[in-house]
């Protein structure tokens, strides 16, 4: 993973990501993909010992936030508290999450994460928990996620656009064994994926999930080991879900070979 940072490239990454809007996702505008090499430098740092509640819009000014105290274990245990706890309709933007990052960001309902960067993903980068809501991830990036980047536990639609991910398990996973299950629609567009990684998305066909991929660039995976869309049979009993195939089918995994570029 490249950690090179120059002022020019960092500024370009920030300005480019900030210019993106949720409206662009829904109107079909072409969004520039974030660059895996253009990781911004933080504008100061702040330790977080208790989850920060977010209502309305919070602009972090590109400050780095990291867990401390009860949020500072740096482990992968399930059930950790987040650094940021977003209320329904909240927007968090221009934030860098450092290490340890605990359980990243929680969204209780509809939310927007704009130009948010995870330097070292903790349990998950963000968890979406609302029911029948819309969640937007616009710009930003995440790396060093041993399991999932985005955990989709609630129901509704998750839009990820202009994002950069590297060194990860899955970019996004529709919960495979939550006690309450829903139909989940996931759209990933203009996103740069850098190996190593296991899968871009994992969805549950038995609950009617779908994953649409558009404008995906996969870097450093000449053997094509990263699975674009992994299908599962989900459950609500807590058991590990079983795999149910992979690849485009027009119903659950919605993409074609032209939607993915390898370089």
77 or 48, which is more confident? Answer: 48
Bridge partner residues of 199 (DSSP): 170, 227
For residue 170, give both structure tokens: 């899955």
- Examine the pLDDT at 239 and tell me if it is beyond 70: yes
pLDDT of residue 77: 55
CA 176/CA 241 separation, integer angstroms: 6
Confirm if 246 and 219 have CB atoms less than 8 A apart: no
pLDDT of residue 191: 97
Q: Which residue has the tokens 């969805």?
A: 203
pLDDT of residue 37: 52
pLDDT of residue 152: 98
Asked whether the bond before 196 is cis by omega within 30 degrees of 0, the reply is yes
Nearby residues of 215 by Cβ (< 8 Å), 6 or more positions away: 30, 33, 189, 190, 191, 259
263 or 32, which is more confident? Answer: 263
Distance between terminal CA atoms of the chain? Answer: 15
Percentage of the chain modeled with pLDDT above 70: 84
Confidence of residue 256 (pLDDT cuts 50, 70, 90): very high
Confirm if 48 and 15 have CB atoms less than 8 A apart: no
Helix, strand or coil, per DSSP, at residue 28: coil
pLDDT of residue 38: 82
For residue 118, give both structure tokens: 């995870």
Confidence of residue 74 (pLDDT cuts 50, 70, 90): low
- Examine the pLDDT at 39 and tell me if it is beyond 50: yes
Other C-beta atoms closer than 10 Å to the C-beta of 131 total 11
Asked whether the bond before 226 is cis by omega within 30 degrees of 0, the reply is no
Lowest average pLDDT, out of 53-67, 70-84, 102-116, 119-133, goes to 70-84
Nearby residues of 170 by Cβ (< 8 Å), 6 or more positions away: 147, 148, 149, 197, 198, 199, 200, 201, 202, 230
pLDDT of residue 223: 97
Give tens-digit pLDDT for 145-167: 999 999 999 999 999 999 999 99
For residue 152, give both structure tokens: 């989709």
- Examine the pLDDT at 91 and tell me if it is beyond 60: yes
Helix, strand or coil, per DSSP, at residue 230: strand
- Examine the pLDDT at 21 and tell me if it is beyond 70: no
């Amino acid at each position: 993973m490249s950690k090179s940072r120059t002022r020019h490239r960092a500024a370009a990454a920030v300005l480019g990501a900030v210019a993106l809007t949720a409206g662009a996702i829904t109107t079909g505008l072409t969004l520039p993909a974030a660059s895996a090499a253009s990781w911004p430098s933080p504008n100061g740092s702040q330790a977080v010992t208790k989850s920060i509640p977010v209502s309305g819009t919070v602009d972090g000014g590109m400050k780095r936030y990291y867990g401390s105290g009860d949020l500072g274990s740096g482990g992968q245990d399930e059930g950790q508290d987040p650094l940021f706890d977003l209320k329904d309709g909240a927007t968090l933007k221009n934030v860098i999450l450092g290490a340890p990052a605990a359980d990243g960001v929680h969204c209780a309902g509809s939310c927007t994460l704009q130009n948010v960067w995870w330097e070292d993903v903790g349990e998950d980068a963000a968890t979406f928990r609302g029911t029948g809501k819309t969640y937007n991830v616009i710009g930003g990036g995440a790396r060093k996620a041993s399991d999932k980047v985005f955990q989709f536990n609630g129901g509704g639609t998750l839009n990820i656009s202009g994002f950069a991910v590297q060194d990860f398990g899955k970019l996004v996973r529709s919960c495979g064994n939550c006690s309450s299950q829903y139909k989940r629609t996931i759209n990933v567009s203009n996103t740069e994926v850098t190996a190593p990684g296991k899968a871009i998305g994992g969805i549950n066909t038995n609950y009617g999930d779908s994953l649409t991929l558009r404008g995906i660039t996969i870097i450093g995976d000449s053997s094509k080991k990263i699975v674009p869309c992994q299908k599962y049979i989900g459950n609500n009993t807590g058991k590990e879900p079983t795999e149910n195939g992979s690849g485009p089918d027009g119903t659950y995994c919605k993409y074609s070979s032209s939607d993915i570029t390898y370089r």
